[in-house]
Structure 1
Amino acid sequence: MRLPPKPTTTQATYLATLLTAATIQAPNPNPNHPAQIHAQLITTHNLSNPLLLTQLINLYAKSGQLTQAILTFNCARKYTNVVTWTSLIAHLTQSRHPFEAFSLFSQLKKTSTLSPNPHTFSAAFHACAQTGVRTHGSQVHALGFKHGAESSVFVASAIADMYAKCGDMAASRKVFDEMPQRNLVSWNALMVGYVRNKLYRNAIFTFQELVRDCSLAPDQVSFSSTLSACANAGELGFGQSLHAHVLKLGLEKLVYVKNSLVDMYSKCGCFSNAVEVFDPETDRDVVTWNILMMGWVHNDQFGEACSCFRSVMREGILPDEASFSTVLHALVGIAVWAQGATIHALIVKSGFAANRCVGSSLITMYAKCGTLLDAYRAFEETKNHLNIVSWTAMIAAFQQHGHGSRVIALFNEMLERGIEPDYITFVCVLSACSHNGLVEEGLKYFNSMSQTHRLAPGSEHYACVVDMLGRAGCLDDAKQFIDTMPVEPDSSVWGALLGACRNCGDLELGKEVAQKLFEMEPDNPGNYVLLSNMYASYGRLEEAKEVRRLMSSNGVKKETGCSWIDIGSTTHVFTVHDRSHRESEKIYAMLRKLEELVREKGYVADTRCAVNDMGEYKEQNLWCHSERLALAFGLISLPVSAPICIKKNLRTCGDCHTVMKIISGIIGREIVLRDTNRFHHFAGGLCSCGDYW
């Protein structure tokens, strides 16, 4: 039998050079190169060379052929050394296969001939960090301690990072404190860990320790993580001092640092500073634009946020899921269906239609624009909507449009599919029960939170139950429910009870509850207005005026009510008694005509809804409410068959609700009114809320 020729040193050197050159071309090499070199290694009998084998596996992995890398490793495992194992563990971790990486490390530990080195432990700790399973990390930590790997600074840094990503900052800090020496990676791992675990002030204190240490200078990761901590902790002062430090070191043009500065100023309420930092002359990536867009959205500047998105597209920057989700959030604020549909088309074209975050934002956008059918289509078209976020978005959409039965049906379907509801899901379900008079169902779902789903009810859930009982006229039950709550009721719960007092006409209890609310949230105008209106409805005008004077003396101003309607690409805004519109004469002429038509149908004005007006002017002033002006303008501006969609920034009054119902029957077309609470779909003289709102 003839033995195969021995590989020569010249062949091995040539192949090593070839593998090195091909690896340098990765991640965009010729996809056939790894296989071609692999064939040469086999034919020249060099596959048994651990160095060349490791290089080949490395080339496969860097070329995006991880499966082939694993197959090659398994077929030639007897020729591997610890470097080969370490390389594959690292590639599995980098490719987001942490459990496979951890499994491979466990197999290495069982071999009798090989022992992991510090680089192997470092790769294993990164895998444990990705799994987020602390038990895995502590096991590897114990083994690393046994092998003395912990003395290496980069291994110790990896251990601190692993514990931080597993949510154990106490262990992370302990490892950091016991390190014989530290480098900047160690400090950054600790600061980033604190931010990740929302221990923002600890991150700031750690940065201050780093500066006092004087042996190391903070870099862009140090500044970026600490600025993020300042943003979330509201530490504007320290954030500004960090900004000065950044300018001193000349780091302000680095994208990571700039993004963090924009985010910090935006979240700390200094958005003008954020815009200044957003320098148009320096490099900007999609994250920079996303942060600026989010800043505009948080400041209720929805039009500016949409302009930012258009700028992203003009500059040729590819939007990501955060870009699409943010611009859809902005469109919710302005409720412009046409722009939303355009963004939807772009989402489909960009391949983000199946993205869970974008999909749920699409559902919310269409629902807030008043097109429930489009929202449901977006829900159904999501390829993988079996996640709680998109289901909750659709449940919330049905709830906002007053479809209580569909909320319950969808919620039950979700449970049948094995999807566990979360905190927000139950808020939507309980709110739907409240606004549709489903008291028994609401109480059943509230009790199931703790008994079946092991969720602790929060203030929003308690407030929904109080509101539900109050709307059903069960004021005593609502008060008793609050008295037996296991937690201290907050302003949302007392606010729900105040609304229940208004619905049930209990002025004395209303006074008591309002006084609690004045102490808890003295700057909330809604509580003052509600109590004042209750006094006025009982004819106690002096006391109503006293509440208004208290409100004024506390510097609290009632938000000005306004309604708006979109005609084409233009938004027309109206306030009460508004005569600033160029079509005012036609608008008021249409109002007079509408008044005649509804009177013929037996309409009698509910003057209780004009609590701030006096005598004979009460009924007249009801006809100058902003939503009626918007309705009249829609009637003279839109095609006869088009639905009329109106938005209002406050809760619509009962008299306007009655008028909209009657008019929808007279003119034979749909009127959609979105106020702060919900959508009202008026058609054929009826409203989708069933007058239970």
Structure 2
Amino acid sequence: MEKLKQYHSQIIRLGLSGDNDAMGRVIKFCAISTNGDLGYALKVFGSLPQPDTFIYNTIFRGYLQLQLPKECISLYVQMLHASVTPNKFTFPSVVKACTFDNVVELGQQVHAQIFKFGYQSDGFSQNSLIHMYVSFKSLEKARRVFDMMPQRDDVSWTILISGYSQSGFIDDARKLFDLMPEKNPASWNAMIAACVQSNRFHEAFLLFDQMRQTSQFKLDKFVAASMLSACTGLGALKQGEWIHDNIKKSGIEVDHKLATTIIDMYCKCGSIEKAFATFNQFPTKGISSWNCMIGGFAMHGKGEEAIELFKRMENESKVSPDYITFVNLISACAHSGLVQEGRHYFQHMVKVHNISPGMEHYGCMVDLLGRAGLLNEAMKLINEMPMDPDVSVMGAFVGACKIHGNIELGEKIGEKVIELDPHNSGRYVLLANIYATASKWEDVAKIRKLMNDRGVKKSRGFSLIETDGAVTEFIAGGRSHPDSEEIYAKVKEMLACIRSIGYVPEAESVVHDISEEEEMEKALFYHSEKLAIAFGLLKTKAGETLRITKNLRVCKDCHEASKLISKFFDREIIVRDRSRFHHFKHGVCSCNDYW
């Protein structure tokens, strides 16, 4: 700026202080250069007798760089009052300002002026309008602009595809994507990311395979991150490893965000050792990577390892723990029964790091104390909370009441939880199970009737297993798989084998109004994870680890059966359920039957 001011003084001495060409260059440096000064640009602008369109456009860009949309819009109004005619470089900035400030009516007026000044065929202006209407959630108007464009470029297609996706209209996004004459990396990524965000992981894999067959395919960090998330959702470790290897081969820069996505994939696909090895390979780690790894140890029931990593974070890194760090850390203590340690870090968070406990921390503490059977202490903590406990805190307490057989307290709080979260089927099922444990069958029937009256349906359980890089899904009692006869025969064989070493079906794990023993056992035997394990035994070599992902909590019967299957067939079986990982090996589970 100091040099610029010297040149500016020379321009003034030469009598060019009112010359738009000369002063436009001064304003451009001041307004949009990283070394500039917008305030100085505005002083120069104010001294000009008749600034031209180029100068106005330059100031617009300067305002937007500093995220000052209101000032940009005010200047545009001033421009029109001064009878300075906008050009095609004016409107993208002004439309962007309307988008920034979310001023719908003004945006529509600017749209009308694009027509008035004859720029309805200008691609930059039209793409800006599509983006603006997408931001306003006015997808019909965005589509109308798109349909009226004489020529569309990659940006036009990609913005609208992303707009449909972000609003949850995935099928509309897909139809538009399929119509796109030539797909570029950005549009592929927009469509893949949309599928991942909507939990349509299989569709994301199909799109990724199609993308790889195109001539311009080159893995970038955006597609890599989306596909790693898809692998995480399906528990597809082999696919995730392949993508990680290709990130290394492609020389893609691994920033903190991508590093965390890689670590998260390994954690949630059941390979905690590889997650930790990958974590240690990164020379610098952001807070998200530390939190992800501590959370990974938590979900695998490795509370002591989580604590050791936290200590390392405090002592060795330049990164300070945050709110999420302590949620993951106390959760790790809860999943491992480390009561003293959990109490310590709940206090440590406040005393050492000045972080006030939030709802999630209280939820983890209630879960920790409740699992350990300290129901009175858990209830005392709930009563002392500075805020009203939410449904997750109360739900954790009800779960603890069920585990420890406190029917009276479980019933009382369980009814409150249902009223707090009336559309969540899990809340009803938990209370029904508490009633069933106490043989209160009339109350079980009342809960079922309440669910029916409110139109609440129990979530369908499913399990996924990856074999030879392909993911197969099973539902309880499902027979749609082409090898279903062979799979069901294997289930019978598998259960007969474990009966010989002490397996007895666990009646609590099925619907309690099934009266006949034979029907009860049928319901138990064909749970989705048993079908997935049988399929895994059929399709993998002896000694191979079976990795299964389940959307619901593993039931007591499947948990016991999995332990015995791992022993009889000498296999490690890793099951990820809704709340944690279970590593079954030699007849023992890593959770020590504490989940």
- Do the aligned partners of 1:400 and 1:678 also contact (CA within 8 Å) in 2? yes
Tell me how far 1:111 sits from its aligned partner. Answer: 7.2
CA shift, 1:405, in A, is: 1.6
State the Cα deviation string for residues 523-575 of structure 1 (Å, max 9, x = none): 32211222222222221112112212221222222122222333335544433
**Contact preservation (8 Å) 2:143, 2:160:** yes
1:499 to 393, 396, 399: 399
Q: Kindly indicate whether residue 191 of structure 2 is the aligned counterpart of residue 288 of structure 1.
A: no
Question: Residue 588 of structure 1 aligns to which amino acid in structure 2?
Answer: V
Relative contact order (alpha carbons < 8 A, sep ≥ 6): 1 or 2 greater? 2
Q: Is the 8 A contact 2:263 2:278 kept in 1?
A: yes
Provide closer, same or farther for how the CA distance between residues 390 and 412 of structure 1 changes in structure 2, counting only shifts above 3 A. Answer: same
Q: Secondary structure at the match of 1:650?
A: coil
Q: State whether structure 2 residue 498 is matched by structure 1 residue 595.
A: yes
**After the TM superposition, which of the residue ranges 465-474 and 107-116 deviates more from structure 2?**
107-116
Alignment-derived partner of residue 415 in structure 1: 314
State the alpha-carbon separation in 1 of the partners of residues 98 and 396 from structure 2: 37
Please give the secondary structure, in 1, of the residue aligned with 2:485: coil
Residue 31 of structure 2 is aligned to residue 125 of structure 1? yes
2:288 to 361, 383, 389: 389
CA contact (8 A) 2:462 2:473 kept: yes
358-367 or 473-482, which deviates more = 473-482
Query: 1:627-646, aligned counterparts within 5 Å?
Result: 627-646=529-548
The structure-2 alpha-carbon separation of the partners of 1:407 and 1:126, relative to structure 1 and needing over 3 Å to count, comes to farther
Give the whole-Å Cα distance in 1 for the aligned partners of 2:309 and 2:570: 31
Residue 668 of structure 1 deviates from its aligned partner by 3.5
Contact 2:26 2:41 in 1 (8 A): no
Q: Distance in 2 between matches of 1:689 and 1:491?
A: 25
Instruction: Tell me the secondary structure at the aligned position of residue 148 of structure 2.
Output: helix
Query: What displacement does 1:176 show?
Result: 5.3
Deviation at 1:282, TM superposition (A): 2.0
Q: Which residue of 1 aligns with 2:297?
A: 398
SS at match of 2:202: helix
Whether the aligned pair in 1 keeps the contact of 2:234 and 2:471 (CA below 8 Å) is no
Change in CA separation of 1:555 and 1:174 when aligned onto 2, cut-off 3 Å? same
CA shift for structure 1 position 419: 1.0
Matched, 1:273 2:194: no
Tell me whether 1:367 sits opposite 2:271 in the alignment.
Answer: no
Say which of 222, 229, 245 aligns to 1:322.
Answer: 222
Shift of residue 423, structure 1, vs aligned partner: 4.4
1: CA distance between counterparts of 2:308 and 2:408? 39
Provide the residue aligned with 1:670 in structure 2.
572
Q: 1:280 to 1:144 in 2, by over 3 A?
A: same
Please give the secondary structure, in 2, of the residue aligned with 1:278. Answer: helix
Deviations 1:262-311 (A, max 9, x none): 11111222222111211455232211111010112123221221222233
Q: Are residues 1:108 and 2:12 paired?
A: no
- Conserved in 1, the CA contact under 8 Å of 2:402 and 2:434? yes
1:503 shift after superposition: 3.5
Which amino acid in 2 is paired with 1:558?
A: K
- Report deviation, 1:450: 5.8
Q: CA deviation at 1:411?
A: 2.4
Aligned runs of 1:642-657 on 2, under 5 Å? 642-657=544-559
Contact 2:339 2:369 in 1 (8 A): yes
Of stretches 618-627 and 536-545 in structure 1, the one that deviates more from structure 2 is: 618-627
Query: Where do 1:289-368 residues align within 5 Å?
Result: 289-315=188-214, 316-352=216-252, 354-368=254-268
The SS at the match of 2:429 is: helix
Task: Classify the secondary structure of the residue corresponding to 2:501.
Answer: helix
Question: Relative to structure 1, is the Cα distance of residues 584 and 598 closer, same or farther in structure 2, using a 3 angstrom cutoff?
Answer: same
Kindly report structure 1 stretches of 4+ aligned residues shifted beyond 6 Å.
none
**Structure 2 portions without partners, runs of 5+:** 12-21
Find the counterpart in structure 2 of residue 427 from structure 1: 327
TM-score of the pair, normalised by structure 2: 0.84
Q: How does 1:420-499 map to 2 (within 5 A)?
A: 420-447=320-347, 453=353, 458-499=358-399
Quote the offset at 1:256 in angstroms: 1.4
- Give per-residue Cα distances to partners, 1:341-386, cap 9 Å, x unaligned: 222222122111634333322222222222222222322333x442
Deviation string 1:649-681 (CA, Å, 9 cap, x unpaired) is: 211012322332344344433221111212111
Partner of 1:684: 586
- The CA deviation string for residues 571-624 of structure 1, in whole angstroms up to 9 with x for no partner, is 44433345561314531332342332331xxx5554322343534524564333
Query: What is the Cα-based RMSD across aligned positions, in Å?
Result: 3.4
Q: 1:312, 1:318 within 8 Å by CA — same for their partners in 2? A: no
1:598 counterpart SS class: coil
The 1:604/1:106 distance shift into structure 2, 3 A limit, reads farther
Matched, 1:189 2:93: yes
- Answer whether contact 1:591 1:623 (CA < 8 A) is retained: no
Distance 2:334 2:529 in 1: 25
Moved more, 629-638 or 546-555: 629-638
d(CA) in 1 for partners of 2:294 and 2:139? 40
Is it true that 1:586 corresponds to 2:489 in the alignment? yes
Q: Which moved more, 1:357-366 or 1:528-537?
A: 357-366
Per the alignment, in what secondary structure is the counterpart of residue 582 of structure 1?
Answer: helix
Contact 2:498–2:564 (CA under 8 A) maintained in structure 1: no
Q: Deviations over 1:41-76 (max 9, x none)?
A: xxxxxxxxxxxxxxxxxxxxxxxxxxxxxxxxxxxx
Structure 1: how far apart are the matches of 2:71 and 2:365? Answer: 42
Could you tell me how far apart the structure 1 residues matched to 2:49 and 2:287 are? Answer: 42
Q: Could you say if the C-alpha distance between residues 106 and 572 of structure 1 is closer, same or farther in structure 2, counting changes exceeding 3 Å?
A: same
Deviations 1:169-228 (Å, cap 9, x if unpaired)? Answer: 5555555565555846555435435656xx6xx153442231354644565555545555
The residue type equivalent to 2:29 in the other structure is A
Superposition pairs for residues 68-147 of structure 1, below 5 Å? 105-109=1-5, 113-114=9-10, 117-127=23-33, 139-140=39-40, 143-144=43-44
Q: Which amino acid aligns with 2:403?
A: N
Amino acid at match of 2:4: L
Q: What secondary structure, in the 3-state scheme, does the structure 2 residue paired with 1:583 have?
A: helix
How far apart are the structure 1 equivalents of 2:564 and 2:60? 68
Q: Contact between 1:564 and 1:646, CA under 8 Å: does it hold in 2?
A: yes
Q: Partner of 1:284: helix, strand, or coil? A: coil
**Could you say if the C-alpha distance between residues 112 and 163 of structure 1 is closer, same or farther in structure 2, counting changes exceeding 3 Å?**
closer
What stretches of structure 1 of length at least 5 have no aligned partner? 1-104
- Cα distance change of structure 1 residues 212 and 353 upon mapping to structure 2, 3 Å threshold: closer
Equivalent residues of 1:388, 1:421 under 8 A apart: yes
Alignment partner of 2:156 out of 257, 261, 264: 257
Q: Is the 8 A contact 1:207 1:222 kept in 2?
A: no
Q: Could you tell me how far apart the structure 2 residues matched to 1:454 and 1:166 are?
A: 33
Matches within 5 A, 1:529-678: 529-578=429-478, 581-584=484-487, 586-599=489-502, 605-617=505-517, 618=520, 621-678=523-580
Count residues with an aligned counterpart.
571
Residue in structure 2 matched with residue 25 of structure 1 by the alignment? none
Q: Quick check: 186-195 or 554-563, which moved more?
A: 186-195
Aligned positions of 1:18-97 closer than 5 A: none
**d(CA) in 2 for partners of 1:225 and 1:482?**
51
Correspondence for 2:19: none
Question: Taking structure 1 as reference, are residues 146 and 226 closer, same or farther at Cα in structure 2, changes over 3 Å only?
Answer: closer
Q: Distance in 2 between matches of 1:156 and 1:232?
A: 25
